[in-house]
Chains A and B, each alone.
Chain A
């Protein structure tokens, strides 16, 4: 891709971002929604956070599918070749 084409694409990307700022002007400031279902928490109709034992279960399941864990229980990710 030519440098000029890349510049054009970058410019159009930035223009869309700036047009959003204009479109959002005048709208009220609300809290942020990161995930669609976090606000209504339909997994727990009582609206309470999960109890400790459920969290421990989740951690156990999560660790069971991770590539590796060190002696302190921290997740071990792959060591990049260029660091060796």
Chain B
């Protein structure tokens, strides 16, 4: 799988595969597999027409973008003109987007074909892909197990080969967690690198849109298309002309790679065996392995769930059933309601900085620990999810569900970047290696991901 995207692009450019044929094949595959996997909840009726337009430009020898002819699935919390942005909730089940999000404009400008909207946990509130109002998503890489979440459909669509690339969003691990469980590549960019305009918020200070792909090259290519400054957003970094795909290297000589004993404390030993073996391979590729201290890493989880709940409570006040959609509290699922009520509870009881303000202080502690560690090393590597995915339909407690996020949340709290590549398997279930990088350290993250992919 390590060069699928590059090969497909070459075939399209050489005329060995037409854009229309590519879209048709994907639509056929979706028709065949989606009834079981449930990765897509809506398809783009204009996909073939858009493919024909890109095809015409290619035949005429006109300049086309970096994604020319590739099919792109989009998480259902991102606005795509004319398609439903439901957030996989009954609240917005009839809401048709009236504009393209900034990232969608960039994908279209690069010649990408939006093939449809992918399933997700309702309002991105979940880590299993089971809370969607449109039904749970199955894991194509480990059938019968959860695919992870909340970008469940995007990860599953890539794992099942239903489209070439996908967009997801990551607030506490919602790209990296399903990428790990489904054995695909997923990247959460640095906060502020990718425009959020057109993304329906879960928690605005943590959300970031990012790519899924079957290989590191595809993720790098999609990220460089969607990344970069947007003057209409007030929390964007001034990153111009980012380039990742052409810079991919496959050796790690001179790189300092951090590992933390904290990961072992929090993670299933079977998963750690796979990760230890992956770290050994990084060492063989020339990386210097350095131990770093992250003593309060696990404290990020409760702090995250407080901050996220307060921001989510605020973000959902517009879903009051007056302007559009239905009143959220009347139709949402248990987990969405739990987060709304928690946010309301904190907002009502917030005094003397006991809750929200305290959580923001813990956020500072986590951030500073990661920043200090990343001064000593170029990247930190470890497991993505501390435990294996449960079987679909199995009842687990709320705290057990939240525990999936222990190792992904810190990057969101700190605003740094992180990527995932398949490290191996435990009992036939994929396990992802997480590579966390500095603020705007995507190039180093891709270098480690690609180097590992090349030898795995």
Cβ of A49 under 8 Å from chain B? no
Q: List 6 A-B contacts (CB under 8 A).
A: A20-B302, A20-B305, A31-B361, A36-B414, A37-B190, A62-B234
What is B's interface to A at a CB cutoff of 8 Å?
Answer: 190-192, 205-206, 231-232, 234-235, 237-238, 296, 299, 302-303, 305-306, 309, 334, 337-339, 341-342, 345-346, 349, 354-355, 357-365, 367-368, 371, 398-399, 402, 412-416, 439-440
How many whole Å from B131's CB to the nearest CB in chain A? 13
- Asked if A43 meets B237 with Cβ closer than 8 Å, knowing A9-B341, A12-B338, A13-B338, the reply is yes
- Asked if A37 meets B191 with Cβ closer than 8 Å, knowing A16-B398, A24-B358, A27-B362, the reply is yes
**In the complex the two chains form, is A1's CB within 8 Å of B361's CB?**
no
- Asked if A40 meets B341 with Cβ closer than 8 Å, knowing A17-B346, A24-B358, the reply is no
Cβ of A4 under 8 Å from chain B? no
**In the complex the two chains form, is A30's CB within 8 Å of B364's CB?**
yes
Question: Bound complex: CA of A31 vs CA of B192, how far in Å?
Answer: 21
Residue of A14, A23, A24 near B345 (CB, 8 A) is: A14
- Asked if A6 meets B414 with Cβ closer than 8 Å, knowing A16-B305, A17-B306, A42-B439, the reply is no
What is A's interface to B at a CB cutoff of 8 Å?
Answer: 1, 5-6, 9-10, 12-14, 16-17, 19-21, 23-24, 27-37, 39-40, 42-43, 58, 61-62, 65
Question: Bound complex: CA of A23 vs CA of B358, how far in Å?
Answer: 11
- Asked if A37 meets B439 with Cβ closer than 8 Å, knowing A16-B305, A32-B363, A32-B364, the reply is yes
Nearest A residue to B414 via CB reads A36
Question: Bound complex: CA of A9 vs CA of B399, how far in Å?
Answer: 13
Question: Bound complex: CA of A21 vs CA of B356, how far in Å?
Answer: 10
**In the complex the two chains form, is B362's CB within 8 Å of A24's CB?**
yes
**In the complex the two chains form, is B302's CB within 8 Å of A19's CB?**
yes
- Asked if A33 meets B231 with Cβ closer than 8 Å, knowing A16-B302, A24-B303, the reply is no
**In the complex the two chains form, is B299's CB within 8 Å of A16's CB?**
no
Nearest B residue to A21 via CB reads B354
B residues less than 8 Å from A34 (CB atoms): 205, 360
- Apart from A6-B337, A20-B302, A36-B206, list 9 A-B contacts with CB within 8 A: A9-B338, A10-B341, A16-B398, A17-B346, A21-B354, A24-B299, A27-B362, A36-B412, A42-B237
How many whole Å from B229's CB to the nearest CB in chain A? 9
Question: Bound complex: CA of A40 vs CA of B190, how far in Å?
Answer: 13
Question: Bound complex: CA of A65 vs CA of B299, how far in Å?
Answer: 40
B residues less than 8 Å from A10 (CB atoms): 341, 345
Nearest A residue to B398 via CB reads A12
B residues less than 8 Å from A37 (CB atoms): 190-192, 235, 237, 415, 439
Question: Bound complex: CA of A21 vs CA of B303, how far in Å?
Answer: 9
